Amino acid sequence: MNFMYQLDPVKKAFFEENGYVVIEDIISAAELAAYRAIYDQFLDGTIDAGKNRTDLGVGLGKNKNVENITQIMWPSDFLPSLREMTYHQAALDIARQLEGSDMEMDFDMLINKAPHTATITPWHQDAAYWIDMPDKRAVSCWLALDAATLDNGCMWYIPGSHRLPLRAHRSAGGKGSALECEGSESEGVGIPLAPGSCVLHHGATLHYSRGNTSDSQRRAFIVNFRPGNMIAMEREKGFDHGRSGNAGERKVRNDNA
C-alpha cells in the first residue's frame, strides 16, 4: 500500500510500547490557516452543528455564559470536503501503518477549550465510551490548531496503559457526558504540541488534559480510526458516536468486571 505519509519505524515502535506517538507538522502552515478558519466557522455558528454540539464539561466547570468544553461531533458530515483534505488522509495513512491496512475512519470531532474556561478533561480511556468489540484496535489522532501547552490543556498520557485492562469508569462531575477513572499526573507525561502537529493514541491509553487557564484558544481536531468490520458492527448495533444527534451516548465498561 502506498502512503502519502511514511511513518518512521522508530515512531511505530514507540507507539507500540507507550500507546501514543507525536507526529510533527502533519499539515503545512497554509493548511493550518485553512483549518483554523473552518474550525472558527463551527465555533461561531456559521456552520450550525445542531444537536451534535454539546458541552463536554457539564458538571466539571463553572462557566455560565460559555461552554466549559466545546464538543462538536462529526464535523465532516457538515463539511464533507474535510475528509479529502490533508489531515484526514495523512492521519488515516499513519493509523494504517500503526494498526493495519484495514483501519478506516470511525468518526471525527472538534474539542475546544476557550481561554480561561479552566475545565479539566478527566483521566479516561476512550474505549470506556464504546461498545465492547472483539477487535480492540483503535487509534485517535489529536491535531493541535494552536500551540498546545500545559497551561491551555495539552494532552497527558500514562505510558503503557494500553497494554493493561481498562480501569473502572464513572460519570464525571455527577452529570454530563464525560467519563472519568483513576489517574494522576505523577503517572503521566505531558505532551505540548506546536500548531499543525499531532499526537496519536491507542483507544485504551489513559489520557487527560488540564483546563485552559491561558489567554489563548486550545482548538483540537480529532479523527478516530478502527477496523472497517468493527465500524460495521458498531453501526449494526446502533452505535454511531453521536452521528444521529446524540453526542452524549456512551457505554461505561470495566473490563476487570
Q: What is the pLDDT of residues 68-108, one digit of tens each?
A: 999 999 999 999 999 999 999 999 999 999 999 999 999 99
- Compute the 3-state secondary structure of the chain and give helix, strand, coil in percent, each to the nearest 5: 25, 25, 50
**How many domains in the chain?**
1
Residues 6+ away with beta carbon under 8 Å from 117: 57, 61, 63, 66, 67, 68, 69, 211, 212
> Is pLDDT at 248 greater than 60 in this prediction?
no
Q: What is the DSSP letter of 7?
A: P
Q: How far apart are CA 209 and CA 212, in angstroms?
A: 9
Owning domain of residue 199: 20-236
The reply to whether 244 falls in a domain is no
Distance CA 178, CA 54 (A): 11
pLDDT digits (tens, 9 = 90+) for 108-163: 999 999 999 999 999 999 999 999 999 999 999 999 999 999 999 999 999 999 99
Residue 250 domain-assigned (yes or no): no
- Mark 2-18 as b/e (b = at least 16 C-beta within 10 Å): eeeeebeeebeeebeeb
Is 254 a domain residue?
no
Q: Is 12 a domain residue?
A: no
Question: Alpha-carbon distance 162 to 201, whole Å?
Answer: 9
DSSP 110-161: EEEE-TT----EEEE-GGGGS---S----EEEEEESS-B-TTTT-EEE-TTG
- Judge whether 20 and 199 are in contact, CB under 8 Å: yes
* Domain assignment of residue 218, yes or no: yes
**What residue type is 224 in one-letter code?**
N
pTM of the model: 0.93
Query: Taking the mean position of all CA atoms in its chain, how far away is CA 64?
Result: 25
Residue 58, domain member (yes or no): yes
The CATH number assigned to the domain holding 177 equals 2.60.120.620
Asked if residue 41 belongs to a domain, the reply is: yes
Greater confidence (249 vs 174) lies with: 174
Residue 99 lies in a domain: yes
Answer whether 27's CB lies under 8 Å from 35's CB: yes
pLDDT in tens, 190-245: 999 999 999 999 999 999 999 999 999 999 999 999 999 999 999 999 999 989 86
Cβ-Cβ contacts under 8 Å for 159 (sequence gap 6 or more): 17, 18, 19, 20, 188, 189
